[in-house]
Amino acid sequence: MRRRAWDLGIELRFVSGSGAAGRITHADLDAYAAQQLPSGRAAAPGAAYAERHGEEAVPVIGLRRKIAQKMQESKRRIPHFTYVEEIDVTELEALRARLNETRGAARGRLTVLPFLMRAMVLALREFPQMNARYDDEAGVLTRYGAVHMGIATQTENGLMVPVLRHAEARDLWSCAAEVLRLAEAARSGKAAREELSGSTITITSLGAVGGLVSTPVINHPEVAIVGVNRMVLRPMIRGGAVVARQMMNLSSSFDHRVVDGLHAAEFVQALRGYLECPGTLFVE
C-alpha cells in the first residue's frame, strides 16, 4: 500500500480509510487520486498520472458550425498544393524599425503585414491568375484587377476573414490602420456583412505562434492563400561568413486545378524578391 501511494505521489496522511479500523484500501487511493485535493493544497506530483474518465459533448452550432462547413467545403472541392519558401527579412525589419521610429508616433506603427500586402499587390500584377475566384460548377475562373485582401482573423467564435478592399490603392499606413480596424470589428462581432465577403486572395498569420511551416486552407472560392510563419533569428552564410539573419517562412496554398505548380512557385519567389529587397516595394 505504501509503495502504491508513493508511486501515485499521495501522502497517506491525507487519505481517509474505509477499511476495518480505518485502514486505507486500494479503492481509497483510487478515489483520492481521482479527486481534487482540498483547497489551498498543492496537487501531489503523482496525481497528474491519475486516470480520468470524464467526457463532454460540445455541439458545433451557429457561427462555429458555419465555419466548419466552409472549411469542409474548401477541402472537399479544392485539391490543395502548398509551397513553402524561406525569406530573409533582415533588411525589411531594419526598414520597419526605422519607419516606426521616425513616423510611428504620427502615422501608427507598422507590422510585417502591410509590407507583405504591398509585395502581394506588386506580384499579382505579374501573376493575375492568383487574384481570382473559381466557380467550379460553371467552370469559370474570374480574375480581378482590384485586390480585395482577406485577412484571416482568430476570434472567440472561430476563424473569420474580414476583407481589406482595394489593397492596390493603399500605402503601408493605410493598410495597417484598416487591418487593425477590421480585426477589432471581427473580434467584437461588429463587422458588417459586406466586410466579411468578396475577398479575392487571403493572408493568414498566427503571429508569434506561427510555427515554421503550415498548410493553409484556401478560402473558397479563391485560388490562393499566403500564410505567414514565425520570424526567427538564424545563422546564415553570407559572403562565406556565418551571420545572424532574421528569417521567416511563407507557407502558401494554391488550387491545383487552375494554378500550375510552376506558376505558384514563381509567384512566391516574386514575393521573396520584394521582401528581401524592400526598396523595390516603392518602385513602380
**Residues marked as catalytic:** 256, 260
DSSP secondary structure letter of residue 220: T
Give the integer Cα–Cα distance in Å for 245 and 263. 28
SS (HEC) of 87-99: EECHHHHHHHHHH
Residue 206, all three cell numbers: 498566427
Instruction: Give the residue from 249, 45, 62, 284 showing the smallest Cα distance to 171.
Output: 284
Instruction: Give the residue from 99, 182, 107 showing the smallest Cα distance to 148.
Output: 182
Beta carbons within 8 Å of 185's beta carbon, 6+ residues apart? 162, 191, 192, 195
Are 121 and 147 contacting, i.e. CB atoms less than 8 angstroms apart? yes
Measured between alpha carbons, how far is residue 59 from residues 10, 16, 56, 62, 63 in Å? 37, 39, 10, 9, 12
Beta carbons within 8 Å of 216's beta carbon, 6+ residues apart? 82, 152, 204, 225, 226, 227, 251, 252, 253
b/e 234-262 (16+ beta carbons within 10 angstroms → b)? eeeeeeeeeeebbbbbbbbbbbeebbeee
Give the integer Cα–Cα distance in Å for 148 and 222. 11
Give the integer Cα–Cα distance in Å for 282 and 284. 6
Give the integer Cα–Cα distance in Å for 119 and 223. 18
